[in-house]
Amino acid sequence: MHAPRTFMVGIDVSKAHLDVAVEGKRTVVRFDNDAAGRAALAAAVAGAELVVVEATGGYEMATVRALMAADIPVAVVNPRQIRDFARASGRLAKTDQVDARVILHFARAMRPAQIPHIDDGRIALAALVTRRRQLIDMAVAEKNRLEHAPQAVAVLIGETLAALKAQLARVDAAIALAIEAEPDMAARRDLLLTVPGIGEVGAAVLIAELPELGGIDDKKLAALVGVAPMAHDSGAWRGQRHIAGGRATVRCALYMATLSAIRCSPAIKTFYKRLRDAGKPPKVALVAAMRKLIIMINTILKRHTPWSEPQQHGC
On average, the pLDDT of the chain sits at: 88
Q: pLDDT for 90-104, tens place per residue?
A: 776 678 788 899 999
- Give the pLDDT band of residue 220 (cuts 50, 70, 90): confident
Q: Which residue has the higher pLDDT, 12 or 119?
A: 12
- How much is the pLDDT for 314? 45
pTM over 0.75: no
Which residue intervals of the chain bear CATH 3.30.420.40? 8-110
Enumerate the β-bridge partners of residue 21: 10
Whole-number Å distance between alpha carbons of 64 and 76: 8
| Rg of the chain, C-alpha, whole Å | 23
CA 213 to chain centre: 10
pLDDT beyond 60 at 241: no
Report DSSP letters for 129-179, one per residue: HHHHHHHHHHHHHHHHHHTT--HHHHHHHHHHHHHHHHHHHHHHHHHHHHH
Q: Give the Cα separation of 257 and 277 in Å (integer).
A: 22
Lowest mean pLDDT among 59-63, 121-125, 244-248: 244-248
- Residue-wise pLDDT for 128-168, tens only, equals 999 999 999 999 999 999 999 999 999 999 999 999 999 99
Tell me the mean pLDDT in the region 64-87. 89
CATH architecture of 8-110: 2-Layer Sandwich (3.30)
pLDDT in tens, 243-293: 556 788 899 999 999 999 999 999 999 999 999 999 999 999 999 999 999
Nearest to 195 by CA among 119, 258, 128, 104: 258
